[in-house]
Amino acid sequence: MKIALIVLIPFLGALLPLLLIRAGRNVCTIAAASVTGLALVILLTTVPEVYSGTVPRFSAEWLPALGLSASFFIDGLGLFFAALILGIGFLIIIYTRFYLDRSDPMGRFFAYLLLFQGSMVGIVLSDNILLLTVFWELTSLSSFLLIGFWYHLPESRAGARMALVVTGGGGLALMGGMLLLGNIAGSFELSEILTRGEAIKASPLYLPMLLLILLGAFSKSAQFPFHFWLPHAMAAPTPVSAYLHSATMVKAGVFLMARLWPALAGTPEWFLIVSLTGLVTMVIAAWIALFKDDLKALLAFSTVSHLGFMTMLLGLGTRSAVIAAVFHILNHATFKAALFMSAGIVDHETGTRDIRKLGGLRHAMPITAILAVLACASMAGVPLFNGFLSKEMMLEEASHTVYAGQAWLFPLLATVGALLSAAYSARLAFHVFFGTARHDTPKHPHDPPFGMWLPVAVLIVPVIAIGLAPAFFAGAIVERTALAAAGGALPPYYLALWHGLTPALAMSVTALGGGLLALWLYLPLNGLRLAVPRPDAMTLFQAVITALVVASRRIIDTIDNRDLTRYLGVIMVAICVFGLAGFFGATHAPGDRATLAVTLPALIGWAVLLAACGLIVLRHQDRLFALIVTSVVGLVVSLAFLQFSAPDLALTQISVEVVTTILLLLAINLLPRTTPDEMPRRGKLTAGAIALIAGGGTAALAYAVMTRGFDTISTYHIENSKPGGGGTNVVNVILVDFRGYDTFGEIIVLAIAALTIYALLDSALRGAAARRLDAIRNGPQANPQAHDPHPLLLTVVTRALLPISVVAGIYILLRGHNMPGGGFIAGLIVAIAFLMQYMASGYAWAHQRARLDAHTMIGGGVALAGVTGLVSLLFNRPFLTSSFGYFHFPLFGEVELASAMAFDIGVFFTVVGTCLLSLATLSRVEDRAEPPDDHGRRA
């Protein structure tokens, strides 16, 4: 649990600065520093354990089926990196306090920083590689926020976006690689994976998996050819550059390669790809760094170069090279973070980071100058500083590396890299702090406040201490870390200042001397560089992104042309294709089930249906006519239900038909009366062809099914309808009992539809829609008949019919359990009776007299049905279990009461409410469009 806390504390603590910024910048800083400090202290309590050789673990299951678990462990490597992240993080926080301006939102900055810190610690302590990938993505996201912290600056935004695209894209590749790795190893736990190196390397999927993982690692660590994003990320505030782009995030890729080293390294593929990528990065980035005039850009490319240095060492695949890599990670973290902070101080104090405008700062800011020059010396690889030692070890490894049969390649390029490294370090030291003092900087420079240079000084201490007595100060750390990274015993090695007259020493001396020479020849060299055309990363990147956007837009414009008709056409064609494929892929011949003889009424109905279908195709432009024809089809359908032993369906269909027709009539009144015949002949033929295929297929399918025998599951329902559900109308018992849950869901859908209709229409009485309604009322389309008052005869008859219809409806509702009827049908009948009042007497009249609000009916109906279901829970029966009994009532005699009846009443009210709400709202809108009648009032 303690281990998980180390990861969790920064995440939880990220809230503190946001809350405490109101209490002032100092409190905010203290809060952020305490969070980091607390995590660091907890981490350090594990040191005795880890350094005695045990590995503390914590594991909690998360998604075991996917292999994802929240498991953490601390070994030497994890401890080393976590300590770097938290330790340097702590110093950065203090530095930030003095770096950020009063106008900068410090609370937000610290919150982002802590989020990032937690993600980084998560990467280095994760035992599960999926969890590691999650944290990996989190660092990409939180670094995006940090790089874009000054989001008012365009280059901040551009840099942040570029970093996100590159590292996020790499993260995707990494995810794929990790999934492959987990599948190959048979486990997603690192501790398992690291023991299965042989099996992993022998797998046929090794190469794709390796490439994907390396893609993630290289893009994160800015290795060639992904080195371009890092300098642009330098638009971030300096503390971010110092923290993310030197000490931590860019090392995540190196960490990952070290972490997986026992499982992946040692193959020819690994050696060929990783070592060469590292070496090329080291040289190219150092060359670029030498000519950067921006301090931070110089440091950024120098970081890329040093990351290449570490990558190359890990790529060599020998354990001694791992030791050198680990040692250099430690050394680089100290001097580079110190340099970044020094650059920040220079920028802060002089107002510029341009080396060409700086010089002689040792007079104005002696403390900063001393610290920075010491760090530069270490970066250059001057003896007595820690940078010298690890560079020496690197040169030693390179000196006996044979790459693809070429023994000269690695020693030469490694020396060139070291030479360039010495050159840019010297340039930084001499051109900024030495030489003649400049007095034309935007600000008058002096040493910064104590809090700003102290973190630098703290980092310079190990630079010198390790440089003088490496074995004493760093021996244990390097050994424990390298043991964990190499996953086994280490070859003999000595961390010492003097190794005798070795080839590495010669290379080292060449590099230092050559570096100074290069600086002396700076101007001619720069001329040479300028003579060679160089690609500008940002321009290329933007061009690629723009091209991608244009290409996507083109594809989208082709596919998504916002023409819904075409979408439907495509969908229909697809359905036909799949349907036909299925149809002809299996037997579709009619079966031998006994068919029913045709009767004359059926034949007439069929003929009417076909005639109606033909008529509507020819004359659907006349909308009223189309509506009438549609109703005829609806009638034939209900007659068909009646013919084929489905009285409930017939009743439902006919009442729905009435309600739908009223609804469409109301709508037609406001819509255009005709559909323009605008479809070209070709379009009609295409649509017709699709329609014929769809119709023919459906007909053939229906016929094939109907003529075959089948086993029904309904025997159960018929047998249990009376004894189990208490009703003889099996359809109704299925609805309210067997499948009551479905029905419950369906009335809820109805209720939602009704409320949506209400919402759509209620707001139509305002804005553009209302103006158009007024236009219809006054415009030429206004129907002269609408001036007629409500027809007297209709009014009288409907009012007289109302009670009769309601009684009939209630009768149908109550008998539904045993005879055709039920809540749905009764609801529709009663709704029609009420709608007649709206039609005959007008909206206002009917609305005034409506006792029950339609909303109440809908809500009450759904509630009643739900409560009925819940009651059965009280009796320890499942939701919606029906119970019934027989009761004796005076006058009525024996009456059966089933709880399903209450459910059906709920259905009834929902249906009535839905119909009334939809149509009444529609008629209210209609009312608005009606011209005032002769009495000058609106009906």
- Minimum separation from the CB atom of position 882 to other proteins (A): 15
- HSE (side-chain half, CA atoms, 13 Å) at 44: 11
- Minimum separation from the CB atom of position 109 to other proteins (A): 43
> Which one of residues 562, 849, 851, 935 is an interface residue with other proteins (CB under 8 A)?
562
Residue 688 binds other proteins, judged by CB under 8 A: yes
> Which one of residues 45, 552, 675, 856 is an interface residue with other proteins (CB under 8 A)?
675
Residues 703-762 that bind other proteins (CB under 8 A): 703, 705-707, 710, 712-714, 717-718, 721-722, 728-731, 734-735, 739, 742-743, 746, 749-750, 753-754, 756-757, 760-761
Q: How is residue 406 annotated by DSSP?
A: B
Smaller CB separation from other proteins, 613 or 796 = 613
What are φ and ψ of residue 758, in 5° steps? Answer: -60, -45
Q: Which residues contact 748 (CB under 8 A, 6 or more apart)?
A: 862
Distance CA 304, CA 920 (A): 72
- HSE (side-chain half, CA atoms, 13 Å) at 338: 30
Smaller CB separation from other proteins, 531 or 597 = 597
Among candidate residues 110, 120, 95, 121, the one with its CA nearest the CA of residue 42: 121
Smaller CB separation from other proteins, 268 or 672 = 672
> Which one of residues 574, 679, 804, 852 is an interface residue with other proteins (CB under 8 A)?
679
Smaller CB separation from other proteins, 195 or 643 = 643
| 467, two tokens | 């440089």
> Which one of residues 64, 154, 534, 678 is an interface residue with other proteins (CB under 8 A)?
678
Distance CA 854, CA 905 (A): 15
Among candidate residues 825, 831, 878, 884, the one with its CA nearest the CA of residue 854: 831
What are φ and ψ of residue 889, in 5° steps? Answer: -115, 140
Which residue is associated with the tokens 């060929």? 272
Which one of the spans 205-213, 397-405, 502-510, 653-661 is the region binding other proteins (CB under 8 A)? Answer: 653-661
Smaller CB separation from other proteins, 196 or 620 = 620
Residue 551 binds other proteins, judged by CB under 8 A: no
> Which one of residues 648, 904, 927, 930 is an interface residue with other proteins (CB under 8 A)?
648
Q: How many residues bind other proteins (CB under 8 A)?
A: 125
Distance CA 279, CA 390 (A): 15
Residue 882 binds other proteins, judged by CB under 8 A: no
- HSE (side-chain half, CA atoms, 13 Å) at 872: 21
For the stretch 728-737, what's the b/e string if a residue is b when 16 or more beta carbons lie within 10 angstroms of its beta carbon? ebbbbbbbbb
- Minimum separation from the CB atom of position 846 to other proteins (A): 18
- Minimum separation from the CB atom of position 759 to other proteins (A): 10
Residues 897-936 that bind other proteins (CB under 8 A): 911, 914-915, 918-919, 922, 925
> Which one of residues 42, 580, 663, 808 is an interface residue with other proteins (CB under 8 A)?
663
SS3 at position 561: coil
Is the distance from CB of 514 to CB of 419 less than 8 angstroms? yes
Is the distance from CB of 576 to CB of 690 less than 8 angstroms? yes
Cα distances from 150 to residues 109, 342, 872, in angstroms, run 10, 21, 61
Which one of the spans 249-257, 289-297, 537-545, 559-567 is the region binding other proteins (CB under 8 A)? Answer: 559-567
> Which one of residues 405, 535, 676, 936 is an interface residue with other proteins (CB under 8 A)?
676
| 766, two tokens | 């305002």
Residue 667 binds other proteins, judged by CB under 8 A: yes
Smaller CB separation from other proteins, 315 or 906 = 906
Residues 353-392 that bind other proteins (CB under 8 A): none
- Minimum separation from the CB atom of position 533 to other proteins (A): 41
Residue 824 binds other proteins, judged by CB under 8 A: yes
> Which one of residues 690, 786, 844, 871 is an interface residue with other proteins (CB under 8 A)?
690
Residue 812 binds other proteins, judged by CB under 8 A: no
Residues 585-604 that bind other proteins (CB under 8 A): 589-590, 592-593, 595-599, 602-603
> Which one of residues 606, 741, 886, 887 is an interface residue with other proteins (CB under 8 A)?
606
Smaller CB separation from other proteins, 54 or 674 = 674
Residues 489-508 that bind other proteins (CB under 8 A): none
SS3 at position 713: coil
Which one of the spans 254-262, 338-346, 472-480, 693-701 is the region binding other proteins (CB under 8 A)? Answer: 693-701
Which one of the spans 57-65, 122-130, 133-141, 668-676 is the region binding other proteins (CB under 8 A)? Answer: 668-676
- Kindly write down the DSSP assignment for every residue of 656-696, as one continuous string: HHHHHHHHHHHHHHHS-SB----S-HHHHHHHHHHHHHHHH
What are φ and ψ of residue 924, in 5° steps? Answer: -70, -40
Smaller CB separation from other proteins, 552 or 756 = 756
> Which one of residues 172, 384, 464, 646 is an interface residue with other proteins (CB under 8 A)?
646
Is the distance from CB of 583 to CB of 700 less than 8 angstroms? yes
Among candidate residues 415, 420, 412, the one with its CA nearest the CA of residue 380: 420
Among candidate residues 924, 898, 603, the one with its CA nearest the CA of residue 761: 924
Which one of the spans 86-94, 508-516, 695-703, 872-880 is the region binding other proteins (CB under 8 A)? Answer: 695-703
Smaller CB separation from other proteins, 695 or 885 = 695
Residues 614-643 that bind other proteins (CB under 8 A): 616-617, 620, 623, 626-627, 630, 633-634, 636-637, 640-641, 643
What are φ and ψ of residue 381, in 5° steps? Answer: 90, 35
Smaller CB separation from other proteins, 2 or 553 = 553
Three-class SS of 862-899: HHHHHHHHHHHHHCCCCCCCCCEEEEEECCCEEEEEEH
- Minimum separation from the CB atom of position 212 to other proteins (A): 40
Smaller CB separation from other proteins, 394 or 651 = 651
Q: H or E stretch including 59?
A: strand 57-63
> Which one of residues 117, 241, 652, 798 is an interface residue with other proteins (CB under 8 A)?
652
Distance CA 412, CA 428 (A): 24
Angle at CA of residue 598, ends 595 and 600, nearest 5°: 165
Residue 804 binds other proteins, judged by CB under 8 A: no
Residue 782 binds other proteins, judged by CB under 8 A: no
Is the distance from CB of 507 to CB of 395 less than 8 angstroms? yes
Cα distances from 804 to residues 6, 652, 826, 829, 925, in angstroms, run 77, 19, 13, 11, 29
> Which one of residues 768, 793, 874, 891 is an interface residue with other proteins (CB under 8 A)?
768
- If one counts every other C-beta atom within 10 angstroms of the C-beta of residue 582, the result is 12
